[in-house]
Amino acid sequence: MKTLVLCNQKGGVGKSVVATLLAHHFAQRGRRVLAIDLDHQGNLSKPLRMSGRTTASAFTAAAVLTSHAPALPDKPFVLVPSDRALLSLERQPDLHTPFARNFRAFLARADAAFDVCVIDTNPNPDIRVIAALASADFVLSPIQLNQGAMDGVSGLLNHERVGLRKIRAVLNSKLSLIGLLPTMVEPADTVPEGELPADRPAVPPVDDQHWVGAGRLRVDPAPLVHIPANVTADSGIVTRHSGERDRVRCCAL
């Protein structure tokens, strides 16, 4: 099983939408998908439940961190839904290490039953995000292409607690940053009103119903934004060009 975490400390950048689309996309391609919603807002759980395509586990995501969660349903597309108890985990610092261990052990037990695990996270840097990053293979960061969001990229990499460099150095050397995924990019001259873009979007659609809000997502040509100097191209998605301004390109999954 390959585990992918959607993560960005910026709120409202499209983490849950991309997680939803990717979960459907992998399932439609015949992969056995485990979706875990670590955000108490439940914005991955709601659309997956409403789709009628997933089987929800009997326990919620908080239980995965706080206990030895029981077995998952023997189904090809399973959701571990969010709950409000997720909010209380950060207030129990003495238990943070067991929380992260429980989460990793849960993923290890699920390993043989699923091909892909998609994890949606909350925007605040807390133990839920740390537990997810400490156990995952890959992280993908949706980002809106505006200057404020780009300036926040250094936090994603360098935050003292949940920065990817720190996580890789201390907790999970195998964690690989797939990259930044520009979302909600809509050049006025390329997207006719009310229509989907004609060429390939960053996240493939499942069908009309599950396109969610990403139908108007468009990445090429990307707007020009300035990339802070301490953001390197080692993620493979930020390609630098000479000159004062740089072009941001989408990564291929």
Interface contacts to ligand ATP, rule CB under 6 A: 11-17, 39, 41, 43, 123, 183-184, 213-214, 216-217
From the list Mg ion, ligand ATP, none, which binds 214 (C-beta under 5 to 8 Å, kind-based)? ligand ATP
Catalogue the long-range contacts made by 191-195 (C-beta closer than 8 Å, 24 or more residues apart).
Answer: 191/216, 191/218
Residue 15 near Mg ion by CB under 5 A: yes
Residue 195, number of CB atoms within 10 A of its CB: 9
CA dist 134 and 99 (Å) reads 11
- 206 vs 211: CA distance, rounded Å: 6
The binding track of 134-153 with respect to Mg ion, each residue x by CB under 5 A or -, is: --------------------
Contact indicator for 183, 14 with CB cutoff of 8 Å: yes
Q: Which residues 20-49 are close enough to bind Mg ion by CB under 5 A?
A: 43
What is the smallest separation between the CB atom of 222 and ligand ATP, expressed in angstroms?
14
Nearer to ligand ATP by Cβ, of 72 and 81: the residue is 81
Count of residues in contact with Mg ion, rule CB under 5 A: 3
121 binds Mg ion (CB under 5 A): no
Least distance in angstroms from the C-beta of 41 to Mg ion: 6
Could you tell me the two tokens for 86?
């997720």
Spacing of C-alpha 32 from chain mean position: 18
Residue 14 or 152: the one with the smaller Cβ distance to ligand ATP is 14
What is the rounded distance in angstroms from the CA atom of residue 80 to the CA atom of residue 135?
Answer: 16
**Under rule CB under 5 A, residue 8 binds Mg ion:** no
Contacted entry of Mg ion, ligand ATP, none for residue 149, CB cut-off 5 to 8 Å set by kind = none
Question: Binds 236, which of Mg ion, ligand ATP, none (CB < 5 to 8 A, cut-off by type)?
Answer: none
Rounded-to-5 percentages of helix, strand, coil across the chain: 35, 15, 50
Tell me the CB-side half-sphere exposure of residue 211, using CA atoms within 13 A.
Answer: 13
* Interface contacts to Mg ion, rule CB under 5 A: 15-16, 43
